[in-house]
Structure 1
Amino acid sequence: MKALLFSIALTTATLSAQAQHLYELTAPSTPKVIHRGHLQLGGSNPSGDNIDVNSYYMSINGTPTIPVMGEFHYCRYPEAQWEEEICKMKAGGITVIPTYIFWALHEEEEGVFNWEGNRNLRRFVQLCQKHHMPVIVRIGPFCHGEIRNGGLPDWLFAKPLEVRSNDVNYLKYVKRLYEQIACQLEGLYFKDNGPVIGCQIENEHQHSAAPWAITYPGEDPDHTTATYDASITMVGVSVQDKAITRAELGNIHMRTLKKMAEEAGIITPLYTATGWGNAAVIGNEALPVTAAYTYPFWAKPGMSPFCRFKNIQLEPDYSPVRYQTDQFPSFCAEMGVGIQMIYKRRPVVPAQSAEALMVRTLGSGANGIGYYMYHGGSTPKQKGGITSFQDEPMGMPKISYDFQAPIGEFGLEGKMFRNLRLLHSFLADFSHLLAPMEVVLPDNYRQITPDNRKDLRYCARIKDNSGFLFMVNYQDHDTARITQGDLALKLNLQGETLRIPAQGTIQLLKDESVILPFNLPMGALTLKYATAQLLMKLDDRGTEHYIFFAPEGMSPQYLFNPATTRGKHLFTPQPGLNSTFRVTGRNGKSILVTTLTRQQALNSSKVHGKLLITHATVLPGETDIHLLSMDQPQADYILYPSRAGWKKQTTRVQPVTPAYTYQKVGARRLTVHFPDSVAAPQVQEYFLEIDYTGDVAMAFMQNLLVQDHFYYGEPWTIGLKRYREQLKQEDLSFYFRPLKEKAPFLMDLPKQAVPDFSKGSVCRINRVRIIPQYKIKVD
């Protein structure tokens, strides 16, 4: 067998001579121990589907899986547009939607609950069910989510009770809330064949809190905690460095809340609780979930540890934690691939940061990933339309909750949407392989500090000699990273030494993050390695067709085990649509392999079992596909397999010319007149784009604030569908505040976004336009 692998099994001396930078990993001699049956989690439904959780991963119907969770707050988005946003999330690779149920939004007035309109939880969950999207409900009672009081109603502040404790008066109100939620979700739980598979109890208990909205300028705010927890309260997600003196009360409170939820009827196979920062947990009855933010607004800018590989199950981010880590899978459910802006801090998150964070997290052993937020929104106002539900004491915008999310406040793709979709596509087809694989780290991984630009950041996940290599050459807040070249990796596996590549070297460009397979079973064949990243697998008329893409700066090479092939076993294709090759196994069965360019992969999604490549946003229906195209009444696409094969196709609709006018009133005011905003059938939505330079921008209708925006160097783009009827009657009115030279957030802005202050503060409206977004059907 070793003789057949002549180009793979090499001596250490030969390896060192061929590679300037040789990096090595050694697989464990014994397999990872996985504990089963100790967690009070999981369940089945009448259709025979079941969910199970062991100490390392989750299984659905016996198959290991890595869920991809994307937070979307139904109450922060117009009800009429929920369905299309759920479909966009599904097209982005999201497989579970978590959503907060903000108590304050549903019970503004004590004893009067509102479950209508944008607060219609039941309708939102039913739409998720229609599109086969599982849901995790985050029932609080405390949520935060940058909502006023963290979601606790204002009127609760006036009561003689201790919030977030087992105070009987507090629990009386929580019981009523839980009973209301249970009523809304009746018949929609997994046990009823519904989509609600999970429930989060409370949030960040004994870790973080929100300021009560009643405060005074210059005063240290009160926080939404029990008095006995006041000294340990934190703002935001971070490492807890204070001793929690009443930890037992926190654990008791969490168990009490879970029992109350179940008694109310909120019964799900999965329960979760905040796991980071020594937060209170619920023993073996709930999954402790973790978080990571590379650009937090609540901390000083600086290189984070979240682009360095480690064993994230045993060393969770924001440790220490309050649970036995080897007894639970690592569910990284609050990954900050974007971030909300506050007035004093406006960190701008690059797309590469999101991709690097998630490649690092998967490589480090995460077996559940989730994003906060995946879909942005707009926070509603309180009754009367004046006071915001947003957490204003923290410096939030009064309405905007865009979060620089993969899908933004008005449903447009964020800059990291496609970077993350690369990973989601991979997980959709291969997480059953990845989930059981254990983490293998280099010996020096603890010495690779955030400012280390010399040593390669890498690790592997391995099971039975098969696995994936993970590499990251990105570090947040680092402007001095360089390309790492002349790289080779040596894997010491059980009975085999594998060199990647077999001959020569590879390079990892600055800011790139990659995942490379080795000893990958592909039908009856074994791929020894590829210097290309796996994207998805298709059924191509009965033949398995594997789609890879070439990382920037890396030449693709595929080496198959000669013992499993008939004929050629080494392939070096040129990336692109003409790169497909066929490999035939010893049993006569063959597979197909195509290597896309990275840009083609970024434009790729899998819809209804087919590969769709397009620059447009993909909006899949139950049986059809539409493309959303900004400002262009046509869209190019490739749909494979199809009769057209790899040939580019173009679909068109009739163009429209929006009839609008606008008027500037001085440097700070603007009105936009667009009465004919009712969309033609081919128009999905109109977007108002305002390119301005200033500090804060505000939009008004009916003399009330309806949207706001903190300047960070990019145009303000507002979806107009939600204002369609109002625009028939009145104009949108805007007010802009000037940007000052001593603004506290200038350090966060890109250099090109900071204007010349030589003539004083700056307030400019540079351009105003309305852009149609076309909806075009794919044949």
Structure 2
Amino acid sequence: MPASPPRRIEVTPTHLLRDGAPWFPVTGEIHYSRIPRARWDEVLGHARAGGLTTVATYVFWQAHEPTRGDFRWDDNLDLRAFIQAAANQGLEVIVRLGPWAHGEARHGGFPDWLLDLPLVPRTDDPAYLALVTILYAQIIDQLHGLTHGEGGPVVGVQVDNELYDQPGHLATLRTIAEELGLRVPLWTATGWGGAQLPENLLPVYSAYVDGFWEDSATPWPAFAATHFRYSTVRDDLGVGADLRAALDASTADGTVAEEHRFPFATCELGGGMHVAYHRRPLVTARDVAALAKAKLGSGSIWQGYYMYAGGTMRVGPHGTEQESQATNYPNDVPTRSYDFFAPIGEFGQIRPHHHLLRRQHLWLAADGAALAAMPVHIGGGSDDPEELRWAVRGDGRRGYLFLTTYQVDRYPLAPQPGVQITVDFDDATVTVPHRPVDLPAGVSVAWPLRYPLTDDLTLRSATAELLTRFDGGEPLVVFVATDGVAPEFVFDGSPAVDGPVTAEAVDGGVRLRPTVAPGAGCRFDVDGVTLLVLDEAAADQAYRLPVAGRDRLILSEVPVRATPDGLVAHCEQASFRLAVWPPTAPPRSPAAIALEPADWWSSWQVRQADAGHSSITVESSPVVAEPYRPRPGGPLGRLSAPTDFSGAGRVQVTIPAEALDAPTTLLRIAWSGDVGRCLVGDEVISDHFWHGRVWDTCLSDHRDAILAAGGVTLELLGWDPAAGVWVDPSVRDAPPGVTLRSIDLIQVSRIPLTFHPSQEKESC
């Protein structure tokens, strides 16, 4: 991997700088040691296609030194290879060094042998620090030549995790790493829970829609609602509260006294949510996207997601390596699955919020540097669901108006009729919309104010969101209209306009309204700049990726990622449509490609017979299972997960050999019950605490064993409504016992689409 000259990265009190200019990174957590090495490139490719600029990853001590003195960096423990794979996708890396990681790992990631020694972990105990020094030396050796100062992708590290009352120890950890030769521009530590941090670590924060770590009697965590409002409060007192005896920085009224000496950076915006046995949240894709945008409207200058890609819990010398009540953790979590309902699932499934978040990330790629330097003004919005929630980020000359009527479905906000906001800038006042609009319930928007399209053309305001822009010979600016809100565009002056719009002179400018519905065909020209206004469905299909020698706008009905030669489409269906702008010649592919008529775009239909869904008939139905009666356990007396499956209902699932020919074959189970396990022989390859979602298991990862066994066995424990387990009210009325609604095989094909610059149409 060739080294490139490092670009100076600095932290100011308000934002990050790169080469002296504001910089807005977007980071997603991906655990290399929980994903098969063969899947790394695919997952990282989707992360890059999703708009990430950086990936973060834990280094789990227990995985790398299972036996004292015997370090492993092979197979999917090869940290160095993972970082290089990320760099090959154009991603930079934040390494979460530990020593303590948590991540729902056994003992927080500590190896068992460490806890048998006479020392005090997570302190400056010399015996502990001696072992940490050995661990850090091993990690830093893996990073040799890969750090930012050496022209590599590692731009930052985090020391320890969720350590709220040992600032001196955190400082010691940084000193140890630096004395071992580690040089990176960004040194971070988690700041939530009222954490006390040393001056030389950047606090990074969290925000979750819900939390499995809450008590089973909690309908919705009290602090979670604040994450759907615009607020200058950065802390979340709920995250990690089950592991803290007290919050030294919290005040009597439950708030945190915050001194904003650093910019507002996040590392754990909930990309989904894990489940525990006693409490099983049902976070939605729209929840995740709305929370992320609320943090942008609250002043975030670094978006970091946990998790961005799910994984599978490891198995080590002591069995499965998940945290549990057996290791004095308050909560029992699944033994294998760490899917987290992340944008990229445990087995590479692409979830709806991968698309919803990509829309935000494309905007940040286009204008995040300007947004990063814009302070926030909270205009309105309390815990009153009837009050309009709004904020402005602006630099005195231009900015963005944030509005939201979104909160989780169980606690919805009211629609807002007649919305109109007046914003004062240094030299002008802008009222947006020009005429009041009714803002529907369940939306979250960021509308541009005084946005420069060119040096001579300013978009005064719009009731549509910026998605991306292409400058150069054929300038294009792409917007997204919000469902239920008619898009308007108000320009300063009297620009030349051409296309399907109505024009109305207003206050020294012109107000334009498209006369065709937002979508792939809604475009018009203003002073030589083309504006394309997509609807939300089309925006969810929009990518910006390098194709045929340049960045292009892509609309794809299936997930795609970039390769050096073009694209790879991940397809669960027999055919899909793909459109590209600027137009280019058809790609070469083993799949059948048919040109479709399209104005302005190049558009094709791609047909692939090796993908699709098929149903499986199982041998035993209905499923008869004895009820599991959970008992309280662990330090907080929460319900304990079952370890005895002798009373489980058993279902034999025969897997046809030809079903395993696809690159990825998933077994998808729609069911209700309590806990399920999928076994090949005696090995548990997947488990699921039922919470209202389908249960996916990747058969391809165990192909040979499944072929030898002829299939898999499901062990299913029945649902007991009276057991006290918390599930979302929308699924809480599941019948007692086990209900097996369907079992499907999902065959996912990888379809290469090869483009070359020589294929590009001359009109481009």
TM-score bracket for the superposition, by shorter chain length: 0.7 to 0.9
Report whether the alignment pairs 1:499 with 2:431. yes
Report whether the alignment pairs 1:637 with 2:578. yes
Which of 570, 582, 587 is 2:511 aligned to? Answer: 570
The aligned counterpart of 1:526 is: 458
Report whether the alignment pairs 1:297 with 2:212. yes
CA displacement, residues 437-478 of structure 1 (integer Å, 9 cap, x when unaligned) = 111222xx4xx433x122110010111320000011112364
Scaled by the length of structure 2, what TM-score is found? 0.84
Report whether the alignment pairs 1:307 with 2:241. no
Report whether the alignment pairs 1:739 with 2:712. no
Distance (whole Å) between structure 1 residues aligned to residue 96 and residue 208 of structure 2? 20
Distance (whole Å) between structure 2 residues aligned to residue 305 and residue 183 of structure 1? 42
Q: CA RMSD in A?
A: 2.3
**DSSP 3-state at the match of 1:352:** helix
Tell me if the contact between 2:287 and 2:407 (Cα under 8 Å) persists in the aligned partners: yes
Which of 589, 593, 602 is 2:531 aligned to? Answer: 593
Within-5 A mapping of 1:213-292: 247=165, 250-283=166-199, 285-292=200-207
Report whether the alignment pairs 1:127 with 2:82. no
**DSSP 3-state at the match of 1:734:** strand
Between the two proteins, what is the percent identity of the paired residues? 31
Matched AA of 1:161: L
Distance (whole Å) between structure 1 residues aligned to residue 196 and residue 556 of structure 2? 46
**DSSP 3-state at the match of 2:315:** coil
Within-5 A mapping of 1:91-170: 91-170=49-128
Matched AA of 2:752: K
Distance (whole Å) between structure 1 residues aligned to residue 355 and residue 453 of structure 2? 26
Distance (whole Å) between structure 2 residues aligned to residue 519 and residue 661 of structure 1? 57
**DSSP 3-state at the match of 2:232:** coil
CA displacement, residues 580-620 of structure 1 (integer Å, 9 cap, x when unaligned) = 11111xxxxx2110100111111111111111112201122
Tell me if the contact between 1:740 and 1:762 (Cα under 8 Å) persists in the aligned partners: yes
**DSSP 3-state at the match of 2:705:** helix
Which of 604, 611, 631 is 1:649 aligned to? Answer: 604
Matched AA of 1:637: L
The aligned counterpart of 2:568 is: 626
Distance (whole Å) between structure 1 residues aligned to residue 704 and residue 296 of structure 2? 46
CA displacement, residues 350-387 of structure 1 (integer Å, 9 cap, x when unaligned) = 22221221121111111001111111111111137x44
CA displacement, residues 371-420 of structure 1 (integer Å, 9 cap, x when unaligned) = 11111111111137x44344454210111111111111111122322211
Shifted more, 529-538 versus 644-653: the winner is 644-653
**DSSP 3-state at the match of 1:505:** strand
Tell me if the contact between 2:489 and 2:512 (Cα under 8 Å) persists in the aligned partners: yes
Within-5 A mapping of 1:447-486: 448-450=381-383, 452-476=384-408, 478-486=410-418
Report whether the alignment pairs 1:436 with 2:373. yes
Deviation of 1:203 (Å): 0.7
Matched AA of 2:170: M
The aligned counterpart of 2:629 is: none
**DSSP 3-state at the match of 1:180:** helix
CA displacement, residues 268-292 of structure 1 (integer Å, 9 cap, x when unaligned) = 1111011122223221x22110111
Q: 1:660 to 1:513 in 2, by over 3 A?
A: closer
Which of 193, 207, 211 is 2:151 aligned to? Answer: 193
Note the residue ranges of structure 1 that are not aligned, 5 or more in a row: 1-44, 207-246, 585-589
Matched AA of 1:639: V
Q: 1:322 to 1:766 in 2, by over 3 A?
A: closer
Distance (whole Å) between structure 2 residues aligned to residue 147 and residue 514 of structure 1? 37
Report whether the alignment pairs 1:404 with 2:312. no
CA displacement, residues 236-260 of structure 1 (integer Å, 9 cap, x when unaligned) = xxxxxxxxxxx5xx12111111011
Distance (whole Å) between structure 1 residues aligned to residue 175 and residue 673 of structure 2? 51
Note the residue ranges of structure 2 that are not aligned, 5 or more in a row: 238-248, 504-509, 585-597, 624-648, 756-764
The aligned counterpart of 2:303 is: 369
The aligned counterpart of 2:745 is: 770
Tell me if the contact between 2:235 and 2:256 (Cα under 8 Å) persists in the aligned partners: no
Distance (whole Å) between structure 2 residues aligned to residue 376 and residue 557 of structure 1? 40
Deviation of 1:322 (Å): 9.6
Deviation of 1:324 (Å): 7.2
Deviation of 1:513 (Å): 0.3
**DSSP 3-state at the match of 1:354:** helix
The aligned counterpart of 1:414 is: 351
Tell me if the contact between 2:6 and 2:148 (Cα under 8 Å) persists in the aligned partners: no
Matched AA of 1:650: Q
Which of 654, 672, 696 is 2:653 aligned to? Answer: 672
Report whether the alignment pairs 1:512 with 2:493. no
Deviation of 1:677 (Å): 5.4
Distance (whole Å) between structure 2 residues aligned to residue 186 and residue 620 of structure 1? 28
Within-5 A mapping of 1:12-161: 47-161=5-119
Distance (whole Å) between structure 2 residues aligned to residue 735 and residue 70 of structure 1? 34
Hey, which of these two has a bigger chunk of strand by percent?
Answer: 2
Deviation of 1:497 (Å): 2.3
**DSSP 3-state at the match of 2:522:** coil
Matched AA of 1:635: F
**DSSP 3-state at the match of 2:740:** strand
The aligned counterpart of 2:545 is: 607
Report whether the alignment pairs 1:580 with 2:523. yes
Scaled by the length of structure 1, what TM-score is found? 0.82
CA displacement, residues 333-361 of structure 1 (integer Å, 9 cap, x when unaligned) = 11113111000101101222212211211
Higher relative contact order (CA 8 A, sep 6+): 1
Alignment coverage as a number of residue pairs: 669
Report whether the alignment pairs 1:359 with 2:274. no
The aligned counterpart of 1:725 is: 704
Tell me if the contact between 1:695 and 1:738 (Cα under 8 Å) persists in the aligned partners: yes
The aligned counterpart of 1:7 is: none
Distance (whole Å) between structure 1 residues aligned to residue 614 and residue 543 of structure 2? 35
Matched AA of 1:706: I
CA displacement, residues 57-86 of structure 1 (integer Å, 9 cap, x when unaligned) = 112233312111100001111111111100
Q: 1:411 to 1:301 in 2, by over 3 A?
A: same
Distance (whole Å) between structure 1 residues aligned to residue 437 and residue 422 of structure 2? 13
Distance (whole Å) between structure 1 residues aligned to residue 481 and residue 612 of structure 2? 40
The aligned counterpart of 2:664 is: 685
Distance (whole Å) between structure 2 residues aligned to residue 592 and residue 94 of structure 1? 27
Q: 1:656 to 1:543 in 2, by over 3 A?
A: closer
The aligned counterpart of 1:232 is: none
Deviation of 1:431 (Å): 0.4
Tell me if the contact between 1:746 and 1:754 (Cα under 8 Å) persists in the aligned partners: no
Deviation of 1:661 (Å): 6.4
**DSSP 3-state at the match of 1:437:** coil
Deviation of 1:678 (Å): 7.7
